[in-house]
A and B are shown apart, each in its own frame.
Chain A
Amino acid sequence: EDKVVQSPLSLVVHEGDTVTLNCSYEVTNFRSLLWYKQEKKAPTFLFMLTSSGIEKKSGRLSSILDKKELFSILNITATQTGDSAIYLCALLSNAGNNRKLIWGLGTSLAVNP
């Protein structure tokens, strides 16, 4: 059965810290892995990863995929209180003629001043 497991489930850090969020997966017919940030509203898209070993960066956020070991990490450097959110990992798979998005439960990040 396809599944996505995120860790840790929750994390509390201080401003300025660096955090690493993990997403491991088991899936047949992998297509891509997506990271979303969810505050008190709907998820907003961060990254889409398709190839192993190619880091994607956006400001203080970066992410990389390892298709051999079946995981991805999301790094946030110099964290700010505005980074407090739930970070969701989702896997896009090809299921027959259909594409399916499988979601993890998320990592709840709290950044304290």
Chain B
Amino acid sequence: EAGVAQSPRYKIIEKRQSVAFWCNPISGHATLYWYQQILGQGPKLLIQFQNNGVVDDSQLPKDRFSAERLKGVDSTLKIQPAKLEDSAVYLCASSSGVASTDTQYFGPGTRLTVL
């Protein structure tokens, strides 16, 4: 089966600019996650969607970050305006949501550099 797709793979912007990332999960996967991974740290969950509804966005900096999954399939994550500390890899993952298989499958990530 095709994996989780993300684009772009790399992005360099200046602080205060805006940026958007796109994710297409594995076909049929109901749950979609966005993570921020700063160098040397484990992934930090930003937002979790179940179909097109938000399940958990407690760690999403809502003053600058937003995410949507309008049709319950692909999703976009936006940062506006970006800060230097937003430099990280942004990972998208999906899971089927079936109780016996909570495994998350990750996309290749988008490496963001904020100058």
Residues of A within 8 A of B (CB): 31-32, 34, 41-45, 48, 88, 90, 92, 98-101, 103-106
A41 nearest in chain B by CB position: B108
Interface contact B42-A100, CB-CB below 8 Å: no
Q: Name the B residues within 8 Å of A106 (CB-CB).
A: 41-42
Most chain A CB neighbours (cut-off 10 Å) among B41, B42, B102: B42
Most chain B CB neighbours (cut-off 10 Å) among A31, A41, A100, A104: A41
Interface contact A105-B109, CB-CB below 8 Å: no
Q: Is B72 on the interface with A (CB-CB < 8 A)?
A: no
Give B69-108 as 1s and 0s: 1 = Cβ < 8 Å from A's Cβ atoms.
0000000000000000000010101000000001111111
Q: Name the A residues within 8 Å of B55 (CB-CB).
A: 98
Partner pick for B109 among A34, A42, A88, A90, CB 8 A cutoff: A42
Interface contact B102-A45, CB-CB below 8 Å: no
**Interface of chain A: mostly helix, strand, loop or mixed:** strand
Q: Name the A residues within 8 Å of B14 (CB-CB).
A: none
Partner pick for A101 among B45, B89, B105, B107, CB 8 A cutoff: B45
Q: Name the A residues within 8 Å of B41 (CB-CB).
A: 105-106
B109 nearest in chain A by CB position: A42
Q: Name the B residues within 8 Å of A48 (CB-CB).
A: 102-103
Most chain A CB neighbours (cut-off 10 Å) among B41, B106, B108: B106
Partner pick for A100 among B56, B106, B109, CB 8 A cutoff: B56
Interface contact B107-A42, CB-CB below 8 Å: yes
User: Distance (Å) between the CB of B92 and the closest chain A CB?
Assistant: 9
User: Distance (Å) between the CB of B86 and the closest chain A CB?
Assistant: 18
Contacts A43-B43, A105-B42; A32 near B102 (Cβ below 8 A): yes
Q: Name the B residues within 8 Å of A101 (CB-CB).
A: 33, 45, 104
CA distance A35 to B41 in the complex (A): 15
CA distance A61 to B103 in the complex (A): 18
Interface contact A44-B106, CB-CB below 8 Å: yes
